[in-house]
Amino acid sequence: MANFNLEVNGVAHTIAAEPNMPLLWALRDLLSLTGTKFGCGVGMCAACIVLIDAEAVRSCITPVSAVTDKKITTIEGLSTDGTHPVQQAWISEAVSQCGYCQPSKILTAAALLAKNPHPSDAEIDAAFEDNLCRCGTYLRIRGAIHRAEAGG
Amino acid sequence: MASRLITRRDFLKVSFTAGGALLVGSFLDACTPPAPAITPTLPPTATNTAIPESPLQPNLFIRIDPNGTVTFIIHRSEMGQGVRTALAMILAEELEADWSRVRVEQMDAVAELNQITSGSGSIAINYDALREAGAAVRALLVNAAAQIWNIAPEECKANQGKVIHAASGKQLDYGELIHKAKDLKLEDVDVQLKDPKEFRLIGTSVPRIDDPDIVTGKAIYGLDVRLPGMLFATVARSPAPGGKLVKYDSAQAESVAGVRRVVKVSSGIAVVAENTWSAIQGRAALNITWDEGSASTLSTESIHQKMVETINKAIAKESPTTLKTIEAIYETPFLAHAALETPNCVADVRADHCDVWVPTQNPLDVQTFVRNVVGVPTNVHVTLLGGGFGRKLEVDYGVEAAEVSKAVGAPVQVVWTREDDIQHDFYRQMTYHWMKAGWDGAGNLALWRHYMAGQGINGMAYRVGKEVLDEGLNVLYNIPGSIPQSFLVNTPVPTGPWRGVMSAPNAFANECFFDEVAAALKKDPYEFRMELLDEANPLRAVLELAATKANWGTPLPEGHGRGIASQIYHQTMVAMVAEASVQDGSLKVHKVVCALNCGKVIHPDMVVQQVEGGIVFGLTTLLNEITLDKGRIQQSNFHDYPLLQMKEMPDVEVYVVPDERAPQGLGEMGVPPIVPAVSNAIFNAIGIRIRRTPILAADLTV
């Protein structure tokens, strides 16, 4: 057990954890930031995506010891009030069904658009490799990304 | 309907809350039957008891605050099908509420209420009762305004959260009317349902009520419940059904950092820790030895063999025929639900009561089973579900949490890993179908056999016998000499309802084999279906719409094929045309056109969402299967139980045949036709028949 300093959504936290504890459980169980979801624990479904220095990263396979000097953004920190263009596009396109995996989809989309403001469908599909939605909202995710890139 | 309201004088219970809001309690019939075919087996205290005469406890609540906010307390579980929005729309429509001031809260388990969210039934079952309740409260508010203004209620009209007197221009907000409304009696007011032509909310695609919370991460699923002092637990369960615990190393597990306790529960050994990660690490250190007993001989092959023997005995009794015949075998495997949110539950067991927070489709059974374990009054609080698909009808994970909390004397969240979920599911049943068709010299069909073997549903709370196998077993078309028969082949493999239940495998067998017969008779598969449906059959319009919108019969790109399939389930008729191609042994589904008739549509875009979701659910069955060897499930996570990915998603178009009959089921309707439609498209493209799912690369190579 050791102390780790994490900067999450612009707020500095010090947590006591095993070095190999995945960031997912540190966020959810130690900091009660439950918007980041558990799906598989092995990096195959992407329900646990967070942004680390603007990269979409699977927090279930990222140990806390590896992110102490990084800026971590979870869905709770993407915007304070749900007004990020991707969040707005998600509502306009009625993407969500159960909604459980959508925070990770929104963060994946935000990271993609930050790097590639006008992705093709194929580029979107590539960014969403092994990024699973059991409700089947895939067509609407593509639609919402195109809506967000067009300014909502 | 209005007369019924007047005869039931205790239809509404009107009161004030401590906060000064009007609380209207009304009644959803406990005796309203659940959707047909799946009849859950419930303890006699639960939902299948007849509604008592009196006194009744209200089980539907509408709260109107002084500021005019209208809150509905919704009794069905939200798992992505949009039920919290759709049921609220029905109530708000008749109440003439201002939708921007409508809120929804989730109801706890309430005895004597049909609270099970299953069988695509939430809207179909509750539509009339919700309309009546909304209309009755609207009538109270209109009469309250009329009394304040000292005019006849007929001169007043409810409009978007206000009552308006057009002649004078006066208006009062609902929030200003609640004190007066409380003193009115339902029998003194005239309650009229709206003419559906006046609907302004039903039939529109308003944003879902939960969307703002979902996109900001504020939505609370079961796994997100956090209580002060809450501990986290994982449970080690027998790898084979019915296995017994021989020994384990609790000291080793308790030496893992963060682990607090190791406790025995009925399903296995629980490791209780300060966080989920420690609970997972602690469990890995248990070093358990199991005695798997007789189940260790169970395998997919042995179950398959039993089904083959059962069907072959039935075939042996068939009389010889002079007809020209063809036969085929269709098969489907066990399947896991694999909702993205794994099973989980928080229980807080105290000396005199117990609270449970759980993502469940079945709050009453959770309450009954947990109460039996803890022996004290139990409140069940239903969270949002991160997908359900039938898995969350079961109570096993709720019972585990209650046992662990009771043992350690603290609130505990039991978390299932993905491996737990895949290996300890209540699976869709493996099925085996023998199909035979015969025709005379003129090509007239005169014989159809569909002999199907599978097991019943054998869950802890949810059990269905042979009748579950009969869902969708009948061929939809007029074929003389049609004999559908199902044969129960039970095994210890735990089974449960899985979105589309047995309607899906039966549609696969029927609709693909019909395609085989059409090909043998050199008939167009769409035209042949229409030929064998009566002029008055409403399925015709559904098939015709799907075929027309898919440009059936027009040329396709080289290597592409089209397939059509249909099913009727929960009184909804659905047809799909799929376009697919195969290259180098790899299947690509390009487009799916769906037409359906689900009666009155509440929220048109939710119809599309449910079809898109059903198509994804069905297409996933082309990719994966659950198999057993030596009693153990061989799959464990998404590397060997893959789900459909975005890049594999076809374009989807959905068309609705307008029909003003009462709303019917939708949640499962996208699943049954997609697999046969794609399989038939594969045949159309490359001449290969798909008779078993999943489809393996070798199946697609000539």
Distance CA B179, CA A141 (A): 47
Residue B28 pLDDT > 80: no
Beta-carbon-side half-sphere exposure of residue B615 (alpha carbons within 13 Å): 33
Nearest to B319 by CA among B476, B436, B432: B436
Q: Which two tokens stand for residue B627?
A: 């198999």
Residue B19 pLDDT > 80: no
Question: Is A101 close to B386, i.e. CB distance below 8 A?
Answer: yes
* B584-613 burial: b if 16+ Cβ within 10 Å, else e: eeebebebbbbbbbbbbbbbebbbbbbbbb
Average pLDDT, chain B: 92
Mean pLDDT for B425-440 is 98
The DSSP code sequence of B482-513 is EEEEEEE---SS-B---TTTTHHHHHHHHHHH
Residue with tokens 């947990």: B370
Q: List the 52-91 stretch of A: residues with Cβ below 8 A of B.
A: 74-76, 78-79, 81-82, 87, 90-91
How long a stretch of residues is chain B?
702
pLDDT in tens, B33-88: 333 333 333 333 333 333 333 344 566 789 999 999 999 999 999 999 999 999 99
Nearest-Cα distance to chain B for A143, in Å, is 12
Residue B617 φ then ψ, to 5°: -60, -45
Distance CA B34, CA B49 (A): 12
Non-local (6+) Cβ contacts of A67 within 8 A are A6, A23, A52
Whether the ω angle into residue B55 lies within 30 degrees of 0, i.e. cis, is: yes
Distance CA B279, CA B296 (A): 28
Query: Identity (one letter) of the amino acid at B499?
Result: R
Closest chain A CA to residue B645: A132
Element (H, E) at B521: none
Rounded to a whole number, what is the largest CA-CA distance in chain B?
A: 84
Which residues in chain B are contacts of A17 at CB distance < 8 A?
275, 277
Question: Is B605 close to A94, i.e. CB distance below 8 A?
Answer: yes
How long a stretch of residues is chain A?
152
Question: Is A98 close to B80, i.e. CB distance below 8 A?
Answer: yes
Distance CA B227, CA B225 (A): 7
Residue B406 pLDDT > 80: yes
Of A80-84, A140-144, B325-329, B587-591, the poorest mean pLDDT is in A80-84
Q: Are the beta carbons of B676 and B565 closer than 8 angstroms?
A: yes
Q: Which two tokens stand for residue B503?
A: 């309607």
Residue A72 pLDDT > 60: yes
Nearest to B226 among A34, A82, A140 (CB): A34
Question: Is A42 close to B637, i.e. CB distance below 8 A?
Answer: yes
Q: Which two tokens stand for residue B645?
A: 């990915």
- Quote the pLDDT of residue B364: 94
Mean pLDDT for B253-263 is 98
Distance CA B564, CA B34 (A): 31
Residue B640 pLDDT > 70: yes
Higher per-residue confidence, A80 vs B458? B458
Q: Which two tokens stand for residue B579?
A: 């376009």
The H-assigned helical ranges of B13-99 are: 83-95
Distance CA B335, CA B453 (A): 16
Q: Is the dihedral of CA A93, A95, A97, A103 positive or negative?
A: negative
Distance CA B232, CA B180 (A): 50
Mean pLDDT for B205-232 is 98
- Quote the pLDDT of residue B691: 98
Q: How confident is the model at residue B533 (pLDDT cuts 50, 70, 90)?
A: very high
Which residues in chain B are contacts of A110 at CB distance < 8 A?
none
- Quote the pLDDT of residue B85: 97
Beta-carbon-side half-sphere exposure of residue B544 (alpha carbons within 13 Å): 10
Residue B17 pLDDT > 80: no
- Quote the pLDDT of residue B436: 98
Residue B21 pLDDT > 90: no
Rg, Å, chain A Cα set = 15
CA angle, B50 then B51 then B57, to 5°: 145
CA angle, B99 then B103 then B107, to 5°: 135
Question: By the CB < 8 Å criterion, does A29 face chain B?
Answer: yes
Most A-contacting residue of B117, B218, B277, B392 (CB-CB within 10 A), to test interface: B277
Q: Are the beta carbons of B278 and B256 closer than 8 angstroms?
A: yes
- Quote the pLDDT of residue B59: 63
Q: How confident is the model at residue B399 (pLDDT cuts 50, 70, 90)?
A: very high
- Quote the pLDDT of residue B227: 98
Rg, Å, chain B Cα set = 27
β-strands B628-629, B632-633 pairing: antiparallel
Q: Are the beta carbons of B493 and B427 closer than 8 angstroms?
A: yes
Mean pLDDT for B95-124 is 90
Of B129-138, B192-201, B611-620, B647-656, the poorest mean pLDDT is in B129-138
Q: Which two tokens stand for residue B110?
A: 């309430």
Distance CA B564, CA B544 (A): 11
Mean pLDDT for B215-226 is 98
Mean pLDDT for B614-633 is 97
Which residues in chain A are contacts of B82 at CB distance < 8 A?
97
Q: What percent of chain B has pLDDT over 90?
A: 84
Residue B656 φ then ψ, to 5°: -110, 130
Q: Which two tokens stand for residue B241?
A: 């059904």
Mean pLDDT for B684-694 is 98
Q: Are the beta carbons of B439 and B496 closer than 8 angstroms?
A: no
Which residues in chain A are contacts of B386 at CB distance < 8 A?
37, 98-101
Q: Are the beta carbons of B59 and B128 closer than 8 angstroms?
A: no
Closest chain A CA to residue B612: A136
Higher per-residue confidence, B349 vs B116? B349
Mean pLDDT for B9-33 is 67
Helix and strand numbers, DSSP H then E, in chain B = 16, 29
Mean pLDDT for B326-335 is 98
DSSP tag of B114: -
Nearest-Cα distance to chain A for B154, in Å, is 39
Question: Is B341 close to A74, i.e. CB distance below 8 A?
Answer: no
Residue with tokens 């979902």: B214
pLDDT in tens, B449-507: 999 999 999 999 999 999 999 999 999 999 999 999 999 999 999 999 999 999 999 99
Question: By the CB < 8 Å criterion, does A11 face chain B?
Answer: no
Distance CA B545, CA B366 (A): 43
Distance CA B559, CA B228 (A): 61
Q: Which two tokens stand for residue B20?
A: 């000064």
Q: How confident is the model at residue B112 (pLDDT cuts 50, 70, 90)?
A: low
- Quote the pLDDT of residue B57: 54
Average pLDDT, chain A: 97
**What ipTM was reported for this prediction?**
0.98
Residue A9 pLDDT > 90: yes
Give the number of other Cβ atoms within 10 Å of residue B45's Cβ. 13
Question: By the CB < 8 Å criterion, does B618 face chain A?
Answer: no
Question: By the CB < 8 Å criterion, does A140 face chain B?
Answer: yes
Most A-contacting residue of B216, B272, B421 (CB-CB within 10 A), to test interface: B216
Distance CA B572, CA B575 (A): 10
- Quote the pLDDT of residue B39: 36
pLDDT in tens, B534-576: 999 999 999 999 999 999 999 999 999 999 999 999 999 999 9
Mean pLDDT for B236-254 is 94
Q: Is B454 helix (H, G, I), strand (E, B) or coil?
A: strand
Q: Which two tokens stand for residue B259?
A: 């682990």
Question: Is A138 close to B646, i.e. CB distance below 8 A?
Answer: yes
